[in-house]
Amino acid sequence: MTPVSSKLYTDDVSLLMVLIDTNPYFWSSMKNTAFTFSKFLSHVLAFLNSILLLNQMNQVVVIATGYNSCDYVFDSSSSSMQRAECLLEKLEEFVDKDESLSQEDSVDGVGFSLLSGSLSMALCYIQRVFRTGPLHPQPRILCLHGSPDGPGQYVAVMNAIFSAQRSMVPIDSCVIGSQHSAFLQQASYITGGVYLKPQVSDGLFQYVSWLPLSMNPI
């Protein structure tokens, strides 16, 4: 563990945790629209590249938020996971696994993604960086979410929100589904983040391009 006294505290280096909604039921409901999962990923990749180009010390970690599970699928600090192809491969593996866990389930409608689980994983990762890394970067969580809120996750989601507030970790939200998310509205408001619901999902990259500005002091 790196002693606190020897850590380099910096406002110029960012740690961005990106939570991607991979719920197969949600994306199946979007198949007849112009905004497919593959197009969504193309926007995400462009956005992640813009963050990393701002500062070579910036770190991006991507967590897939599925219907049955959550998992880390990309970490720019890992030498084995730096290329975009690695992210796409890991996402494909995760989606296949998540769908296989759903085969015996009967789901009416879109179903809910495990937002509470991915928020908890993001906060755990941030705390690990704070305790063990040589740098103390400025952390943020960005939720790219489309599925409706799962009522059964309310307590767990609120606990994660208050934990982020105590740790001074802003939660930014970009909702790409047809419905607003009360969970993410509260998350962004309580933690001092930004809540967005683009009118046109196809312009997702333009909507979230504000984030590099908010991640660096003026």
Cα 52 to Cα 48: distance, rounded to the nearest angstrom? 6
CB 63 within 8 A of CB 19: yes
Average pLDDT of every residue of the chain? 85
Tell me if 40 sits within 8 A of 64, measured CB to CB. no
Express each pLDDT in 139-155 by its tens digit: 999 999 999 999 999 99
pLDDT at 106: 52
Residue 202 has pLDDT above 60, yes or no: yes
Higher pLDDT, 197 or 4: 197
Where residue 177 falls among pLDDT bands split at 50, 70, 90? confident
Cα torsion 19, 24, 27, 31 to 10°: value is 160
pLDDT: which is higher, 46 or 163: 163
Indicate if the pLDDT at residue 7 is higher than 90: no
Looking at the DSSP bridge assignments, the partners of residue 175 are 145
Structure tokens at 62: 């991507």
Stretch 101-128: mean pLDDT: 83
For residue 207, the model assigns a pLDDT of: 66
Is the overall model pTM greater than 0.75, yes or no?
Answer: yes
- Which two three-digit tokens encode residue 80? 């084995």
pLDDT in tens, 31-84: 888 788 988 998 899 888 888 888 888 999 999 999 999 999 999 988 666 577
> Which residue ranges form the domains of the chain, and what is each CATH number?
4-214 (3.40.50.410)
